[in-house]
Amino acid sequence: MLKVLKSGFYTSVQDLGRFGYRNKGVPVSGVMDHISVKKANSLLENKDTDAVLEITMTGPTLIFEKSTFIVLAGASMSVTLNNEPVRNYKIYEVHEGDILSYGKLNKGFRAYLAIKGGFMTDPVLSSRSFYVPINQVNRLKDGDNIPYDGNNDFTPKISEIKTDSFLEETILEVYKAPEFDLLDDRQLESLFSKDFSISKQNNRMAYQLKENIVGLEYSMLTSATLPGTVQLTPSGRLIVLMKDGQTTGGYPRILQLSDKAISILAQKREGNNVSFKLI
């Protein structure tokens, strides 16, 4: 077991997501930044789908009860293993009684802890991802225990990778979404010529942007949405749906973020700037 001594602001178990249930209103959920997680699981020679801890803004303090191997990924945070600094994208062997402590957030917003074999919480609807209506829990609490398989026999092929960081990237590549052609020249100019800042309304469900453009007075039936769908409200507010976002919506869908853009946006916090680039 991995015992949670302090849970941090928002720490949850996530894998790549819960697929095949959107027709029943169940969001995909899963990790917000899949690029970082896939790199960490790859280092450990895990499956891409193995579950990790997603750590938002302030991190936990954790104690290991079995020996295994771990990799940190995602946001840059000050992290120590038994009071010794550790860094992202490097394999560390841990033993019974070792303590991993997260400190200051330096860059980005969401960090990840991958473990050899993945975290072994009970799957629900084919996924271990936390989502309240499905798991009855959305984050870890002090004193929680997270199961994992101890592993002392692992000999890594590669112990560390140097990876290009996208934590400072601000350009979100987007595709045209179904209602894109409803936009006029003035709206298009606003959409693609200026920066938008992240509002305080940002979470795993959606990111709202502070700056408005001219809204769309358009009546439409509730229609399918995806993680990365950008909706435009009648007031001109832009809402970007994220991994826990609803499966349908009634606002015009004007843009769709690329997979990489979703990971980039997941590492942004209130006040950070982004811009859109049509591809």
Yes or no: domain 171-278 corresponds to CATH 2.40.100.10: yes
Q: How far apart are alpha carbons 83 and 96 in whole angstroms?
A: 15
Contacts of 5 (CB under 8 A, 6+ apart): 60, 61, 62, 63, 99, 142
User: Of how many residues is the chain composed?
Assistant: 279
Domain definitions of the chain by residue range: 2-146, 171-278
And the tokens for 25? 């209103």
- pLDDT tens digits for range 244-253: 999 999 999 9
Give me the percent of the chain exceeding a pLDDT of 90: 91
Q: How far apart are alpha carbons 72 and 53 in whole angstroms?
A: 10
136 pLDDT higher than 80: no
**Averaged pLDDT for residues 76-89:** 97
Contacts of 109 (CB under 8 A, 6+ apart): 56, 57, 75, 266, 267, 268, 269
Asked if residues 226 and 27 have their Cβ atoms less than 8 Å apart, the reply is no
Task: Please state whether the predicted TM-score (pTM) of the whole model is above 0.75.
Answer: yes
Asked if residues 149 and 68 have their Cβ atoms less than 8 Å apart, the reply is yes
Between 15 and 162, the more confident residue is 15
2-146 has which fold? Answer: Jelly Rolls (2.60.120)
How many Å separate Cα 239 from the centre of its chain?
A: 17
Q: Do domains 2-146 and 171-278 have the same CATH topology?
A: no
For 38: left if phi > 0, alpha if psi spans -120 to 50, otherwise beta; the answer is alpha
Cα dist. 60→132, 142, 199 in Å? 20, 9, 25
